[in-house]
């Protein structure tokens, strides 16, 4: 067996074994990368260290910690709660209304933080106790909230888009724009799926709030609603870059939390910074570890091997996209979104471009597929968050997420068949 083939076995088997025994994902990537380096005859601790540093040595990646900080400030400063309260004021009285509240709040919060885990945690913390009190089946409710949370990586501002753009040298602004329409379609898909689920549920209808109360709740959420307009508008007009947009989002959330809503005190800022730093460290360590594995994968010439496998499909772009999406669905069951982007995006994008596929469209599809992987067992990190917050077994959450997972899969393959759904709005909004 060639060294390249042996390196592939080391990577595949190593990741499965290490994740199976509970080793941290980032550390698993570093260890498998080191194993590949030894097999390929490139063992050099200095080379490994250089790649670890190179994985995070990027100016656009500065957007990640600031978007994470913005998400923490939103949750601590009452911004997330006001959005949920506004959604509840308008649709909470409808049969199954809290489900619609979850969907609406998920879409609105996605346009502010860009973090699936942060949005899901906020939604689950506030809505799941309310759903439990009103007799909603908790496994279905948890599945809906988890599914709503993964809209965050698609609607701008999106941390996965930033990571994808940095990794593949694709325009982050164009990626942000490409996510608007698909993100809204995902929200509509959840509404359809929730209406289907409601057929078998016996839930009470609430009393509609007076228009005065609805408008009051909307007015209280005004500053929160202004945030995505500032971010997207600023990037569209060229006032600031996506990286600078993250700083603007964090600063805006801080000002609103401290001086407008006044739900956060200066002494609490330290705790928010610590939580954001811990989350940032996890993400950045993943980026660093994935760079080691990605470098060794390149040295092993695995991209060329993959190109050889998929080469015959280059003449049929839609068939190529379909095969790639199926491969990524399988990968998404085992790998988290960030390492999937860092390892496989640089490998797959050149093949897609060779077939004439728009790199922005491919980026949207790649991230969407990876986002779906966040609610796909056994390594669905968003599922674990919901299970933890709602004190439910992971098995029950997996059972509840199935209708929404099927809906997202249908939407994914709809975009494969009709790429114009993604590309046309991007061309219009550029």
CA distance 239 to 60: 16
pLDDT, tens only, 80-117: 889 999 999 999 889 899 999 999 999 999 888 778 88
Confidence at residue 311, expressed as pLDDT on a 0 to 100 scale: 73
pLDDT, tens only, 25-46: 788 888 988 998 888 888 888 8
Q: Is 320 helix (H, G, I), strand (E, B) or coil?
A: helix
CA distance 195 to 222: 29
Confidence at residue 25, expressed as pLDDT on a 0 to 100 scale: 78
Confidence at residue 231, expressed as pLDDT on a 0 to 100 scale: 86
* In the chain, % of residues over pLDDT 90: 49
Asked if the model's pLDDT at residue 394 lies above 80, the reply is: yes
Asked if the model's pLDDT at residue 419 lies above 80, the reply is: yes
Alpha helices in 2-44 (DSSP H): 3-20, 25-40
| Closest to 162 (Cα-Cα) out of 236, 101, 242, 55 | 242
Confidence at residue 232, expressed as pLDDT on a 0 to 100 scale: 83
Ranges 142-146, 173-177, 187-191: which has the least confidence:
173-177
CA 30 → CA 33, 168, 303, distances in Å? 5, 21, 19
CA 317 → CA 86, 107, 258, 311, 352, distances in Å? 44, 31, 51, 11, 8
Asked if the model's pLDDT at residue 334 lies above 80, the reply is: no
Rounded to a whole number of angstroms, the distance between the first and last alpha carbons of the chain is: 50
Estimate to the nearest angstrom the gap between the alpha carbon of 116 and the chain centroid: 5
Q: Is 429 helix (H, G, I), strand (E, B) or coil?
A: helix
Asked if the model's pLDDT at residue 5 lies above 90, the reply is: no
Confidence at residue 152, expressed as pLDDT on a 0 to 100 scale: 94
Task: Tell me what the mean pLDDT of segment 17-31 comes to.
Answer: 83
Estimate to the nearest angstrom the gap between the alpha carbon of 277 and the chain centroid: 19
Q: Is 263 helix (H, G, I), strand (E, B) or coil?
A: coil
pLDDT, tens only, 267-319: 999 999 999 999 889 888 888 888 888 888 878 777 677 777 777 888 899 99
Confidence at residue 1, expressed as pLDDT on a 0 to 100 scale: 59
Helix (H), strand (E), coil (C) string for 391-411:
CCCHHHHHHHHHHHHHHHHHH
pLDDT, tens only, 120-148: 988 999 999 999 988 899 999 999 999 99
CA 168 → CA 61, 298, 353, distances in Å? 13, 14, 12
Task: Tell me what the mean pLDDT of segment 4-15 comes to.
Answer: 80
Asked if the model's pLDDT at residue 358 lies above 90, the reply is: yes
Give the other-Cβ count within 10 Å of 211's Cβ. 9
CA distance 86 to 104: 10
Task: Tell me what the mean pLDDT of segment 171-194 comes to.
Answer: 95
Ranges 15-19, 162-166, 344-348, 382-386: which has the least confidence:
15-19
Helix/strand number for the chain, H first, E second: 22, 0
Ranges 7-11, 184-188, 191-195: which has the least confidence:
7-11
In the predicted model, what is the mean pLDDT of the chain?
89
Task: Provide the whole-model pTM.
Answer: 0.89
Task: Tell me what the mean pLDDT of segment 162-173 comes to.
Answer: 93
- What ranges do the domains of the chain cover? 3-429
């Amino acid at each position: 067996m060639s060294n390249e083939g042996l390196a592939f076995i080391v990577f595949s088997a190593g990741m499965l074994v290490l994740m199976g025994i509970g080793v941290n994902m980032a550390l698993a990537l570093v260890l498998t990368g080191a194993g590949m380096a030894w097999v390929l005859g490139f063992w050099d601790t200095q080379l490994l260290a250089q790649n670890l540093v190179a994985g995070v040595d990027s100016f656009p990646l500065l957007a990640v910690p600031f978007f994470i900080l913005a998400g923490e400030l939103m949750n601590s400063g009452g911004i997330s709660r006001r959005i949920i309260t506004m959604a509840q004021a308008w649709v909470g009285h409808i049969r199954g209304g809290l489900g619609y509240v979850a969907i609406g709040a998920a879409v609105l919060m996605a346009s502010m933080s860009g973090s699936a885990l942060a949005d899901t945690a906020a939604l689950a913390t506030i809505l799941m106790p309310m759903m439990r009190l009103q007799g909603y089946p908790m496994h279905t409710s948890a599945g809906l909230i988890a599914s709503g949370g993964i809209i965050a990586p698609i609607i701008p501002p999106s941390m996965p888009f930033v990571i994808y753009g940095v990794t593949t040298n694709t325009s982050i602004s164009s990626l942000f724009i490409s996510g608007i329409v698909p993100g809204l379609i995902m929200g509509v898909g959840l509404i359809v799926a929730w209406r289907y689920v409601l057929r078998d549920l016996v839930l009470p209808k609430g009393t509609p709030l007076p228009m005065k109360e609805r408008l009051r709740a909307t007015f209280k959420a005004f500053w929160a609603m202004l945030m995505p307009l500032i971010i997207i508008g600023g990037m569209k007009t060229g006032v600031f870059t996506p990286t600078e947009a993250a700083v603007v989002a964090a600063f805006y959330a801080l000002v609103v939390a401290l001086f407008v809503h006044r739900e956060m005190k200066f002494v609490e800022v330290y705790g928010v910074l610590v939580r954001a730093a811990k989350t940032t460290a996890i993400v950045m360590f993943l980026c660093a570890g994935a760079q080691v594995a990605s470098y060794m994968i390149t040295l092993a010439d695995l991209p060329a091997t993959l190109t050889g496998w998929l080469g015959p499909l280059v003449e049929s772009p839609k068939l190529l996209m379909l095969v790639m999406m199926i491969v990524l669905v399988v990968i998404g069951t085992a790998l988290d979104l960030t390492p999937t982007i860092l390892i496989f995006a640089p490998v797959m994008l050149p093949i897609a471009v060779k077939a004439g596929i728009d790199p922005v469209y491919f980026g949207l599809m790649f991230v969407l597929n990876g986002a779906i992987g966040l609610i796909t067992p056994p390594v669905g990190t968003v599922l674990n968050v919901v299970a933890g917050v709602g004190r439910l077994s992971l098995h029950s959450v997996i059972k509840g997420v199935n209708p929404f997972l099927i809906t997202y899969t249908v939407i994914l393959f709809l975009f494969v068949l009709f790429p114009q759904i993604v590309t046309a709005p991007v061309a219009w909004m550029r």
